[in-house]
A and B are shown apart, each in its own frame.
Chain A
């Protein structure tokens, strides 16, 4: 009898503790979902339309403009800067044509910067930044991993390199920003530019890419290398033909998570690559050489700007939630692709 009660008490305690742990787990997931959900809920009306083509193409394909809110003819008007000027120009012309009519030219009652138009330059800038830095990071990262996993021996230098990678992974992103500013922007004189941003971001994700690539290389069975070497292939031939092809999917998928991180970082590009506003698109440069040395608008930095530099109200909300949602979708696509790809490859490559 005694034994029985003890057992049930124990069981009850066990299930309570486990239920608590489970609640903690799902609370985390709930927080994440709530945040994403709020942004999606508020941002969706900006991004999507009920009618064809269902997507607000203006928002995605035009540059940011100042929003003017004013009253005209008893109606509340909201116009972007260009339309507003055209509107006023037309009214002024009308007034000049028939001077006796009572056409009043409205004055902008309130204006909010960046709140009209779209975020096209920011999307483009982010894509350029991410692509460039990822190419650099993959180049240095995969080569480093090949050396560490295929060539290097356990000696002092290798240990030092591994220590450096480990420590580099913990350096705050703002410190990378300062470093990029000190080295690329000032010392090398690249100014605020794509190049400076590329290198800063690439160096920041390097530890992630190296670690991911090493894991992928380690996962290739030793037999593949030994067989290749036994057939008389050199070490490089072995790596190129019998190791890399099998490791590459793993390298790429894990590195994509690194891309997501690069795309999401704001602090390192604040003083190395991002402009608050820029009229030209990246390809509108006088000569090709200027391409690398131009600053760009970037989505994360734009979100920072629109959430701090303009007030929060119904007019500015659109650009704030809209840009955030676009950005989230961009990052989510990258991350989801990597997770899906990895799960599929795991099933495909089983040694």
Chain B
């Protein structure tokens, strides 16, 4: 009887004062006591009570759906994503066993050299321009004056020859080992599948010859003396070439040549380090257990479908997402918070009823439409604007790429603005009236009250609004996919504020772009799910932080 009367009691007052569950329902519900003598203890009443319980259970179970979804999201992201780390670990182990790692160490000497050669050709281009444009030389004369430089550049560029030859020779051997290991691995999987299907005889026909890495890697390891010789001879030759480097008269060219020489010397000085690394390298050294996690979290490269080695490093994507989001917030926070302050504190009622629906309307603008606008209009608009001479002083102007972090950031700002505005406006409106009135009573002006009393009082709400706006933009997909330029590289922060005009790729963008094309179950596919996991965890963390700030610094309600 007690439970049933509890069932019918109005529990919406629980919101105000949580009743001690079922201990003394009569005290809380005036209906409970009167209902029990009226209700006949018949089969009908039991049926009714059962029905009430059924209905309650039905609603309760639908309420659990949200919890269920959150759990399912976690489960399925992890289910598809977590095997990535195992697969990646195996790939890294094979990378070492097949000697690819060894060659990549040697290749560092080559890549460093390529950078230097590129710098040389840049200097040549500038020198040529200098001679032709400011020196008014004919093209042939300018080329003649650069003959000594060309000779120097050619010799410098050829000096890497021995190293390059070695890299390509042993590179082939190493990829050969890797391919063989992959083939054997596929065979093993096939046999296992046949065995699972109960076809033992067919499975027996598949012969697996495990790759003897120690034997296979021997020829590669044997090249160590040759590598050493190549590195040393290259270093000696470069040193000799540098000693006879030509010089320029022009100041800026001379300075460039100076930097080049400095960099070249640093490069030569680093070559013995590469040599040491090569001699210290052992293929049998086990890969550390966290190698795949480290390479995912700190990897600076996201290379897929490569013939050499795939790398799944989240860093370029993460920095790209962060850069675009920060640009967006830099624009959205002043505007959004400013508009919130204006609307809640200054605007008249009529104006409020114009602004609020208009901003809600902006929040309903689909992101793909904004993305399209960016690709069709804004990108080109910003670029042509950046080419106008009176904006030359701005960093990064004129913009080279039409689609870049700035284009995406501007549109993301518009996406986060309604979130920031609505929540900040709520926070400002909910500041107790008493504070405002007290401030006025003390003789403060409207401006002082708004900026020194109301805004600081609502600060926790504003900060959490900004955080949620940040969560909104970092999870936004279509705008960045369409407008951010999709270049997978860590933005070059050495460019200073001009970094905002570089094209970037983002975590959300990479999932949307590559998910449709990957082979289900491949490492690449799993890597995309791990990126999704990262986003998921990030969004939960942002949400948590926003709630925490809101709770921690909330004013006691008046």
Smallest distance from the beta carbon of A36 to chain B beta carbons, Å? 8
Residue A38 contacts which of B368, B377, B508, B511 (CB distance < 8 angstroms)? B377
Q: Does B293 touch A at the CB level, under 8 Å?
A: no
Smallest distance from the beta carbon of A156 to chain B beta carbons, Å? 12
Contact (Cβ within 8 A) B69 A10: no
Smallest distance from the beta carbon of B175 to chain A beta carbons, Å? 32
Contact (Cβ within 8 A) B63 A14: no
Contact (Cβ within 8 A) A173 B475: yes
In angstroms, Cα B370 to Cα A177, docked, is 20
Q: Does B407 touch A at the CB level, under 8 Å?
A: no
Contact (Cβ within 8 A) A303 B362: no
Contact (Cβ within 8 A) A153 B512: no
Q: Does B375 touch A at the CB level, under 8 Å?
A: yes
Q: Does A215 touch B at the CB level, under 8 Å?
A: no
Q: Does A286 touch B at the CB level, under 8 Å?
A: no
> In chain A, what residue has the closest Cβ to B446?
A14
Q: Residues of B contacting A35 with CB < 8 Å? A: 365, 369-370, 373, 414
Q: Residues of A contacting B76 with CB < 8 Å? A: 178-179, 182-183, 187
Q: A49-57, A59-67, A88-96, A141-149: which lies at the B interface?
A: A141-149
> Given the interface contacts A14-B446, A339-B357, does A186 sit within 8 Å of B520 by beta carbon?
yes
Q: Does A47 touch B at the CB level, under 8 Å?
A: no
Q: Residues of B contacting A186 with CB < 8 Å? A: 80, 520
Residue A174 contacts which of B347, B371, B445, B511 (CB distance < 8 angstroms)? B511
Q: Does A135 touch B at the CB level, under 8 Å?
A: no
Q: Does B302 touch A at the CB level, under 8 Å?
A: no
Q: Residues of A contacting B481 with CB < 8 Å? A: 304
Contact (Cβ within 8 A) A21 B414: no
Smallest distance from the beta carbon of B25 to chain A beta carbons, Å? 12
> Given the interface contacts A21-B339, A25-B342, does A304 sit within 8 Å of B478 by beta carbon?
yes
- Residue-wise, chain A 188-220 has the 8 Å CB interface mask toward B (1 for contact) of 000000000000000100110010000000000
Smallest distance from the beta carbon of B132 to chain A beta carbons, Å? 36
Contact (Cβ within 8 A) B362 A24: no
Contact (Cβ within 8 A) A236 B52: yes
Smallest distance from the beta carbon of B71 to chain A beta carbons, Å? 8
Give the interface size bracket for B toward A. Answer: 35 or more
Contact (Cβ within 8 A) A174 B447: no
- Residue-wise, chain B 340-378 has the 8 Å CB interface mask toward A (1 for contact) of 011100110000000101111110111111111101110
Q: Does B142 touch A at the CB level, under 8 Å?
A: no
Smallest distance from the beta carbon of A246 to chain B beta carbons, Å? 14
- Chain A interface, >50% SS class: helix
Interface of chain A residues 289 through 332 with chain B (CB within 8 A): 300-301, 303-304, 307-308, 312, 317, 320-321, 324, 327-328, 331-332
Q: Does B12 touch A at the CB level, under 8 Å?
A: yes
Q: Residues of A contacting B367 with CB < 8 Å? A: 264-266
Q: Residues of A contacting B21 with CB < 8 Å? A: 153, 155
Contact (Cβ within 8 A) A303 B339: no
- Residue-wise, chain B 522-543 has the 8 Å CB interface mask toward A (1 for contact) of 0000001100100110011011
In angstroms, Cα B58 to Cα A232, docked, is 22
Contact (Cβ within 8 A) A308 B66: no
Contact (Cβ within 8 A) A261 B364: yes
Q: B3-11, B184-192, B248-256: which lies at the A interface?
A: B3-11
Q: Residues of B contacting A24 with CB < 8 Å? A: 334-335, 338-339, 342
Interface of chain B residues 35 through 62 with chain A (CB within 8 A): 38, 48, 51-52, 55-56, 58-60, 62
A residues with a Cβ closer than 8 A to B are 10, 13-14, 17-18, 20-22, 24-25, 27-29, 31-32, 35-36, 38-39, 139-140, 143-144, 146-155, 160-161, 164-179, 181-183, 186-187, 203, 206-207, 210, 222, 225-226, 229-230, 232, 234-236, 257, 260-261, 263-267, 270-271, 300-301, 303-304, 307-308, 312, 317, 320-321, 324, 327-328, 331-332, 334-336, 339
Chosen A-B contacts, 9 in total, with CB atoms closer than 8 Å, are A21-B342, A22-B342, A144-B65, A152-B11, A169-B543, A176-B73, A235-B8, A266-B367, A328-B365
